[in-house]
């Protein structure tokens, strides 16, 4: 399943996958991490219980090209908004944010209105997620 290494001008695409908030269901996040790594991207997985501030700090420290947030908690709109606001506050608003998990259709437009670059509800085939993140990363 090795594809041609996904790369930016500066080397492999770097992605942060984060579990932000209190939810501890990490199966989806971990599976996405594996698919992204198989596609040649460098992935940092934060582990659980990250605050929006911690997510953005990691995104900056690790110099990632794309930030991915994973939710089963129903808290996706509130917490995504906080992450995006913090990215702006830290001067790195250009880092695209994508969101995955249990997200009802009605929440997709509100997330996009916040500035989310991609929404991947439960059931999205991982290769679709990989492709979308690859495209976002190549623009970085």
Partner 1 sequence: MDNHSEQIVQEEERWGREKKVASLPPSRTEMGRDVKPVYTPADVKNTDYLRDLGFPGQYPFTRGVYPGMYRVTPWQMRLYSGFGTAEDTNKRWKFLLASGNNGVAVALDMPTQLGLDADHEMAEDEVGKLGAAVDTLADMEVMYDGLSLDKIVSSFNVNAVCPVILAMYVALAEKQGTPLTALSGTLANDLFCEYVSRGAYIFPPEASLRLQTDVLEYCTKNLPKFYPYNIRGIIMREAGASMVQEIAFTFANAIAYVQAGVDRGLAVDDFGPRLSFFFANGEEIFEEVAKYRAARRIWARLMKERFGATRPQAMLLRFTATARGSIYEPVEPENNIIRGAYSVLAAALGGAQGMLHPALDEPFAIPTERTALLALRTQQICAYETGITRTADPLGGSYYVEYLTNEIEADILREMKKIEEMGGAAKAIEAGYMQKRIADEAFKWEQERLTGDRPVVGVNKFRQEQSGRSKMEFHKFDPTARDRQVQRLRQAKRERDPEAVRRTLAALQDAARRPDVNLIPPLIDATNACATLGEMCDALKAVFGIFREPVVV
Give the three-class secondary structure for 65: coil
What are residue 62's phi and psi, to 5 degrees?
Answer: -90, 0
Rounded CA separation 36/127 (Å): 9
Instruction: List the alpha helices (DSSP H) in 62-103.
Output: 76-89
Could you give the string, one character per residue 86-105, with x where binding to partner 1 holds by CB under 8 A and - elsewhere?
Answer: ----------------x-xx
Stretch that binds partner 1, among 46-54, 59-67, 88-96, 132-140 (CB under 8 A): 46-54
112 counts as binding partner 1 under rule CB under 8 A: no
Helix or strand (DSSP H, E) at 28:
helix 27-38
Q: Which one, 89 or 122, has the nearer CB to partner 1? A: 122
Binding site for partner 1 (CB under 8 A): 1, 19, 21-27, 30-31, 33-35, 45-49, 51, 73-75, 77-79, 82, 102, 104-106, 121-123, 125-127
């Amino acid at each position: 399943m090795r594809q041609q290494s996904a790369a930016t001008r500066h080397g492999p695409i770097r992605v942060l996958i984060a579990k932000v908030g209190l939810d501890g269901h990490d199966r989806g996040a971990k599976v996405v991490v594996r698919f992204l790594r198989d596609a040649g991207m460098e992935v940092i997985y934060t582990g659980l219980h990250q605050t929006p501030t911690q997510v953005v700090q990691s995104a900056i420290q690790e110099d990632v090209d794309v930030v991915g947030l994973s939710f089963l908690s129903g808290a996706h709109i509130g917490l995504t908004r906080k992450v995006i606001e913090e990215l702006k506050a830290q001067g790195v608003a250009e880092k695209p944010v994508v969101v995955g998990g249990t997200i009802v259709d009605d929440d997709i437009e509100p997330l996009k209105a916040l500035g989310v670059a991609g929404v991947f509800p439960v059931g999205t085939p991982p290769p679709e997620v990989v492709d979308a993140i690859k495209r976002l990363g190549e623009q970085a």
